Amino acid sequence: MSAQDRLTQAISDAYDETPYISLPFSYTAPGSLRAVASLYGLSAPALDRARVLELGCAAGGNVLPFALAYPDARVVGVDLSPQQIEAGQRVAEAVGARNLDLRAMSLVDITADFGMFDYIICHGVFSWVPPEVRDAIFRICRDNLSPEGIAYVSYNTYPGWKASDVIRDAMILNSYGAETPQEKVARAKDMLELIENGLWNDNPLQSALQHTAQKLRGQSDHYLIHEYLEAINTPCYFLEFAASAQQAGLTYLTDAEPQLTFPSTFGSKVALGLNGLAVNASREMREQYLDFAVGRSFRKSLLVHSERAEAILDQPEGSAFTAMAFAADLTALPAAPAAPANQRQYRTTRGATLTTHDPVASGMIDMLKQAWPGTVPFNVILEMAREHAPSASQDELTSAILGHIIALVQSNALLYRLEPATYQALQSKPALIPGARELLREVSKADCQVSMHNLWHQGITPPADPLSRHVMNDIDGAHSTLELRSAIRDALTSGRHPHPNGQSYKGARNLEPVAQEFLNSLLAELRRTGLLLN
């Protein structure tokens, strides 16, 4: 066995020994990639029959949401770990995702004969594989990507990873000779203890190292093993990645979250500081300067064929949003004492507070909040704005709405799609999204390696109590709310499933109000997480 083969086998063994939950990442969803591309003037294939390939798919948790949402699409996942592929295949069969094909194989074995794909996703792989595999990733993104396709590749990057490099070296040094993954993690955490609490006050790297170590304390063991203790972890500067892509016949389009490429997203200080440097710089150079300014440690780059380079807009075109639909999970906050009468505040899912005094902005946010997890098309927002500002022209209203949309995007508060997630079932009875009932049974198993998701390609945590799980199995579009309430009442009366509040209702009568309150709460929670279809 060659040294390269031994390294490949070691990587495979590491993921077989310590598998991790394969999660969906919303910014990798083909619908998101297609919408982002349109901001830069590029079209991308429609989703209903799209061909999607994920490189390094683990158990397929990142492509399963798309496969279930688009049963006529073709979805292929490839991973080096047979154990994770087998786990994903079991889930795919159980939930009826017949269009999802998971294969255990090396990326270097993929050739042009493997087929053409409209969307190629490679998340959390590029930095953790040897040079031969990194070259294969670029080759696949060139040879197996359809003419109008979009490729996504994420990777660790400098300068943000410089402090992590030092910590990784220290953790690997202290875990040398460990015989089990558990022992490796224990020794690595011992080193984190030193970095957090034992550094000399005059150590010039003290602040950066301690900040990074403290963030690592909240990470899972499998994250530490695969991110910091793997045999390979090779960050690079963004310009190095872009140059390698160009040599492979590919062109950098933008980040999967394009707002992260705007200096204004990070405040006026950053924007003003970069203004002079970026005057005559290329787009790639401007983004490298920005990486230095913000200390970026991770990138999510979109690539297209080099033949499309001249068609890419230098700056995203906000007017592209007029063809889209939007969604946002926002919470209205109570008015603060002595706040202006027209001030409205909202909280995003990431904990940020949004404040506005503009009635058009607050009207738009209220519409999005009310429609969640469904979408609101741009033209509907425009009609609402006209009611708030009847004397404004069409162009003025459009410009104002686009400004509010861009502000929400920069706050990481807005989801936008050309083909929005459909949260409206034909029937009036409550129903979960496609595959959710079957997937719920799978994720309840101790050895399941995928998570629940919603139609926005987001990982979510379903209710865990037995009563909720019992009722969710009947939220199938065939049972009315009255029938669901009766099922809850019967489960409580029989004592088969306890109420989550800990109170026993076994043998009790007249439980309809209790059952109705529980059902209302459950449906509201399922709607909030995006599991409820209607």
User: By percentage, how much of the chain surpasses pLDDT 90?
Assistant: 82
For residue 239, pLDDT over 70 is answered with: yes
Report if residue 100 sits inside a domain.
Answer: yes
Q: Are 451 and 91 in contact (CB under 8 A)?
A: no
Confidence at 138, pLDDT banded by 50, 70, 90: very high
CA distances in angstroms from 188 to 72, 106, 129, 179, 259, listed in the order given? 46, 29, 21, 13, 35
Last residue of a domain, one of 265, 280, 315: 315
57 and 80 housed in the same domain: yes
181 and 252 housed in the same domain: no
pLDDT digits (tens, 9 = 90+) for 273-295: 998 887 788 999 999 999 999 99
Per-residue confidence (pLDDT) for residue 425, from 0 to 100: 62
Q: Are 277 and 290 in contact (CB under 8 A)?
A: no
Q: Where are the beta strands (DSSP E) in 228-273?
A: 236-237, 250-255
Per-residue confidence (pLDDT) for residue 227, from 0 to 100: 80
Per-residue confidence (pLDDT) for residue 372, from 0 to 100: 95
- Bond prior to 263 in cis (omega within 30° of 0): no
CA distances in angstroms from 181 to 23, 178, 214, 222, 449, listed in the order given? 22, 8, 21, 9, 18
Last residue of a domain, one of 366, 384, 417: 417
276 and 147 housed in the same domain: yes
Per-residue confidence (pLDDT) for residue 12, from 0 to 100: 47
Interacting residues of 497 by C-beta distance below 8 A, sequence separation 6+? 466, 467, 470, 491
Report if residue 70 sits inside a domain.
Answer: yes
Q: From 364, 381, 301, select the one nearest 137 (Cα to Cα).
A: 301
For residue 427, pLDDT over 90 is answered with: no
Six-digit token pair at 510? 């007249």
pLDDT digits (tens, 9 = 90+) for 31-41: 999 999 999 99
19 and 141 housed in the same domain: yes
Per-residue confidence (pLDDT) for residue 272, from 0 to 100: 92
Per-residue confidence (pLDDT) for residue 179, from 0 to 100: 84
For residue 17, pLDDT over 70 is answered with: no
129 and 172 housed in the same domain: no
Per-residue confidence (pLDDT) for residue 13, from 0 to 100: 52
For residue 106, pLDDT over 50 is answered with: yes
CATH number at residue 46: 3.40.50.150
Last residue of a domain, one of 263, 291, 315: 315
Report if residue 429 sits inside a domain.
Answer: no
Q: Which residue has the tokens 């009563």?
A: 467
147 and 174 housed in the same domain: no
293 and 369 housed in the same domain: no
User: By percentage, how much of the chain surpasses pLDDT 70?
Assistant: 96
Q: Which amino acid, residue 271? A: A
326: which strand partners? 376, 416
CA 462 – CA 469 distance, rounded (Å): 9
pLDDT digits (tens, 9 = 90+) for 437-469: 999 999 999 999 999 999 999 999 999 999 999
Map residue 26 onto helix, strand or coil. Answer: helix
Number of structural domains, the chain? 4
CA 410 – CA 4 distance, rounded (Å): 43
Report if residue 431 sits inside a domain.
Answer: no
Interacting residues of 5 by C-beta distance below 8 A, sequence separation 6+? none
Per-residue confidence (pLDDT) for residue 19, from 0 to 100: 64
Provide DSSP, 183-221. Answer: HHHHHHHHHHHHHHH---TT-TTHHHHHHHHHHHTTS-H
384 and 492 housed in the same domain: no
Residues of the domain holding 500: 436-529
Q: Are 32 and 255 in contact (CB under 8 A)?
A: no
Confidence at 21, pLDDT banded by 50, 70, 90: confident
Report if residue 422 sits inside a domain.
Answer: no
> If you average pLDDT over every residue of the chain, what do you get?
92
Strand order in the sheet with 331-332: 331-332, 344-347, 353-356
224 and 249 housed in the same domain: no
Per-residue confidence (pLDDT) for residue 468, from 0 to 100: 96
Six-digit token pair at 114? 């493997």
Report if residue 423 sits inside a domain.
Answer: no
Report if residue 135 sits inside a domain.
Answer: yes
Six-digit token pair at 427? 């029937």
Report if residue 445 sits inside a domain.
Answer: yes
CA distances in angstroms from 113 to 11, 99, 110, 139, listed in the order given? 26, 19, 8, 13
Range 423-454 burial, b when 16+ CB lie within 10 A, else e: beeeeebbbbbbbbbbbbebbeeeebbbbbbb
* Half-sphere exposure of residue 428: CA atoms within 13 angstroms, side-chain side: 3
Per-residue confidence (pLDDT) for residue 224, from 0 to 100: 87
For residue 112, pLDDT over 90 is answered with: yes
CA 72 – CA 424 distance, rounded (Å): 19
Map residue 277 onto helix, strand or coil. Answer: coil
225 and 243 housed in the same domain: no
For residue 127, pLDDT over 50 is answered with: yes
181 and 150 housed in the same domain: no
- Once rounded to an integer, what is the mean pLDDT over residues 169-177? 90
Six-digit token pair at 19? 């598998």
pLDDT digits (tens, 9 = 90+) for 248-260: 999 999 999 999 9
pLDDT digits (tens, 9 = 90+) for 35-64: 999 999 999 999 999 999 999 999 999 999
- Once rounded to an integer, what is the mean pLDDT over residues 113-141? 97
Per-residue confidence (pLDDT) for residue 204, from 0 to 100: 92
Q: How many CB atoms lie within 10 A of CB 339?
A: 13
412 and 329 housed in the same domain: yes
Helix then strand count (H, E) for the chain reads: 19, 16
Q: Flag the least confident range among 9-23, 89-103, 152-166.
A: 9-23
